[in-house]
Amino acid sequence: MERVALVTGGDRGIGRAISLALAKRGYSVAINYRKNEDKAEETKKMIDEIGGRAITIKFDVSKRDEVREGVKRIMDEFGRIDVLINNAGILGKHSKFDEIDDNEWDEVLDTNLKGAFIVTQEVTKYMKNGKIVNIASIAGRNGGTVGVHYAASKAGLIGLTFALASQLAPNILVNGVAPGPVDTGLLSEEKKKELSKLTPLGRVAKPDEIAHAVIFLLENDYLNGTIIDINGGRYMH
């Protein structure tokens, strides 16, 4: 039986690694993107080359109407959604507390937290049995280094994970991953060195290592309301 996964922000970085990992395990993948169609098509091509099945689908996770239409398109194409990966997220332009204005705060919270809420609501209208994995961050655990708006959004996503795990069980299991810094091509070499020094393993994570943790959560049927901290020992609890 065909299994179908929706990966928001699946066009590059962690989302691309997760999309590929799912395709390798037989999932048909809906690769969501907001702006970068070329990157989404690259990811689709990579899946095509390994014999998988994928579609690209454009919508802004923070816009209810776009999400509703996008989810409907996935249902029209595949007839089901078994897995949802809430991965779409942005950092924001500023990291200093006193430089963040209302618009930037709203944009980060709308994408990182409200977006996951909206997509989950729309997907679970069709998902009777399935699994959801939310991609949070070490910033949601310890405040991070990239801004209070980002930290607040990811802490909220962890709380949302716990609440959904309680309300959607036993038919839908909800878990999360909280990565430390990941080498997605967005970090400068200087920034990677700086963050590596803060990590006991002496390096940042590879996208494939985050995808591996996601697959683990999907393959275990007794994990619910769990957040996997994958940060090389930078945050321990």
Q: Which residues are catalytic?
A: 150
Secondary element (H or E) of residue 174? strand 172-179
SS3 state at 163:
helix
Beta bridge partners of 134: 86, 176
Cis peptide before 179 (omega within 30 of 0): no
Where does 34-68 show beta strands of DSSP type E? 54-58
Contact 84, 123 (CB under 8 A): yes
> In the Cβ-directed half-sphere of 13, how many Cα atoms lie within 13 Å?
20
SS3 state at 121:
helix
* 120 vs 176: CA distance, rounded Å: 13
SS3 state at 35:
coil
To the nearest 5 percent, what fractions of the chain are helix, strand and coil? Answer: 45, 15, 35
Pairing of strands 27-33, 172-179: unpaired
SS3 state at 140:
helix
What type of residue is 161? T
